[in-house]
Structure 1
């Protein structure tokens, strides 16, 4: 980091006496009130019209959902993320003075899976769907009853997984349990959410989809 900044400073500064030393670097940080921070978020810069897009989307949601005073059970948001199947801790409690603190694991510490979390505007949680990248079930792993496990080759949420597995194993049971004829699902604009196959499957299942504007998921 220091070398990158000082090299850039040397390229900009036309003074032949400027050396870009470590002393200059730390004095520069102090003058500009800069400190080394851990990066909290990553992403591309927002579009110039992002503010207008956000306001238009909020108005659309207000006009179509809030002002109509719809049953909040029908408003569902879903998003995917990746996690490790068995994320073991590095610390534990043990008797003082012992030399070893062994931990028993399932052997799946390096198995990374994709998971879809869904919840309604009424704070009801739908069953999480976990995609495990393999064809055969994991050994010594018994999932809880409130989780949907799907074994697939690549472990990613492709269109066929959403149109076949997610709708029938997550959305449909929720609709039956809450006696709902239709629901509105909020999704980001990931390519797997926007295929014609997925849209047709949602429509056939009485699932109306509202897409969150591209690259604005964190704001909305």
Structure 2
């Protein structure tokens, strides 16, 4: 968060060169600025999910299984992959904000789209190759914008991976990375 304050200060300095000649938004400047204005960095808190107690054992069993299957079938490392999907919010609300000391309520401003989501599907192979990402938007029609080259885009009414999405991923991401 301190770096965000410094970034805003540098942007202000750039747009106000008459008032900020030679200004450098150093860490010590930021610290003094916050103290001068009785501001502190505040962090929102939440309880994280606990990992299972037998996690290490399960990971070891899985590793042994993969090694056994690789030996049995002669799979190359490039034929073993790990794919996962994760929801992303259009507005990624930060955990920290600058507030006056002693404030009872800490508000974080948003665009109002913090609950609007899309799904990102990422994958890599056991030899370290990264497969191109897949993005799934929650909508019925494809957005009419140009996406970066190397990203596969799909739409789904619910915005998540389903059977059709897996087939599309296999055909358009996994299969194309095998050539």
Q: Which residue of 1 aligns with 2:169?
A: 166
Whole-angstrom CA distance in 2 between matches of 1:67 and 1:39: 48
Q: TM-score w.r.t. structure 2 length? A: 0.53
Q: Is the 8 A contact 1:88 1:109 kept in 2?
A: no
User: Partners of 2:174 and 2:65 in 1: how far apart?
Assistant: 24
Q: Which residue of 2 aligns with 1:145?
A: 149
Which aligned pairs between 1:103-182 and structure 2 lie closer than 5 A?
111-139=116-144, 141-162=145-166, 164-175=167-178, 177=179
User: How does 1:52-63 map onto structure 2 within 5 Å?
Assistant: 52-63=57-68
| Offset of residue 117 of structure 1 | 0.1
Residues 85, 108 of structure 1: 8 Å contact kept: no
1:81 pairs with one of 86, 94, 117 = 86
8 Å Cα contact 1:86/1:109 also seen in 2: yes
Change (3 A) 1:68 1:129: same
Task: Pick the aligned partner of 1:46 from 34, 38, 52.
Answer: 52
SS at match of 1:83: strand
Aligned length: 120
Structural RMSD (CA): 3.6
In structure 2, the residue matched to 1:202 is none
In the TM superposition, structure 1's runs of 4+ consecutive aligned residues that sit over 4 Å from their partners are: 37-41, 66-70, 85-89, 107-111
Equivalents in 2 of 1:51, 1:174: separation in Å?
31
Deviations along 1:138-161, whole A, 9 cap, x unmatched? 35x311120000012111112232
The alpha carbon displacement at 1:167 in A equals 1.2
Given the superposition, is the C-alpha separation of residues 156 and 68 from structure 1 closer, same or farther in structure 2, using an over 3 Å criterion?
Answer: closer
What is the rounded CA distance, in whole Å, between the counterparts of 1:66 and 1:40 in structure 2?
44
Q: State whether residues 134 and 153 of structure 1, in contact with CA within 8 Å, keep that contact through their aligned partners in structure 2.
A: yes
C-alpha distance in structure 2 between counterparts of 1:80 and 1:61, whole Å: 21
Q: Which has the larger radius of gyration?
A: 1
Once residues 138 and 88 of structure 1 are traced to their aligned partners in structure 2, the CA distance between those partners, rounded to angstroms, is: 24
| C-alpha distance 145-156 of structure 1, shift in aligned 2 (>3 A) | same
Unaligned runs of 5+ in 2: 1-42, 95-110
Q: TM-score, normalised by structure 1?
A: 0.44
Q: Shift in Å at residue 58 of structure 1?
A: 2.2
Deviation (angstroms), 1:81: 0.6
How far is the alpha carbon of 1:134 from its aligned partner? 0.9
